[in-house]
């Protein structure tokens, strides 16, 4: 359809075309936050109220980067120790995925490396 419309008309068309999907995603995310996710109980043994308490304790922010949940398209993820199952906190997707990359030994080595650079 582009080429026949002015840039403004094209932008208006695109917005109108995608508005129903945007509203659906927004409403689904709100409802999901309100009702909770079924995997909270099955995977972590958490009820929605438990998640909400953690969320409030962290003031709605990722426990690592500190950015608020409203900045992300998905709810904060439940971070847990994969060996013990102990829940540590709520993380954004980026921080949660970053933890998977590093083991504690490697993180300590990286910190030592960066500290050495600061001391020079």
- The domain of 12 spans 1-35
Q: What is residue 102's predicted lDDT score, i.e. its pLDDT? A: 74
What pLDDT, in 10s, does the model give residues 1-44?
Answer: 446 778 887 777 777 777 777 777 677 666 665 655 667 777 77
Query: Token pair for residue 4?
Result: 């026949």
Domain identity same for 89 and 58: yes
List the structure tokens of 78.
């439940």
Q: Do 43 and 18 share a structural domain?
A: no
Tell me what pLDDT residue 101 has: 79
CA distance linking residue 103 with residue 105, whole number of Å:
6
User: Does the reported pTM lie above 0.85?
Assistant: no
Q: What digits encode the pLDDT tens for the residues 99-119?
A: 877 777 788 888 888 898 877
Q: Which residues contact 86 (CB under 8 A, 6 or more apart)?
A: 80
- What span, in angstroms and rounded, lies between the C-alpha atoms of 100 and 6? 47
Q: Are residues 17 and 41 in the same domain?
A: no
Average pLDDT for the chain? 81
């Amino acid at each position: 359809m582009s080429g026949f419309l002015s840039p403004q008309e094209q932008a208006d068309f695109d917005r109108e075309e995608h508005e129903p999907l945007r509203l659906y995603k927004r409403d689904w995310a709100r409802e999901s936050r309100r009702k909770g996710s079924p995997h909270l109980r099955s995977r972590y043994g958490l009820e929605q109220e438990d998640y909400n308490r953690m969320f409030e304790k962290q003031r709605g922010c990722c426990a690592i980067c500190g950015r608020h949940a409203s900045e992300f398209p998905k709810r904060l993820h439940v971070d847990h120790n994969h060996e013990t199952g102990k829940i540590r906190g709520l993380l954004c997707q980026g921080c949660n995925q970053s933890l998977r990359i590093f083991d504690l030994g490697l993180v300590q080595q990286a910190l030592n490396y960066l500290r050495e650079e600061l001391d020079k």
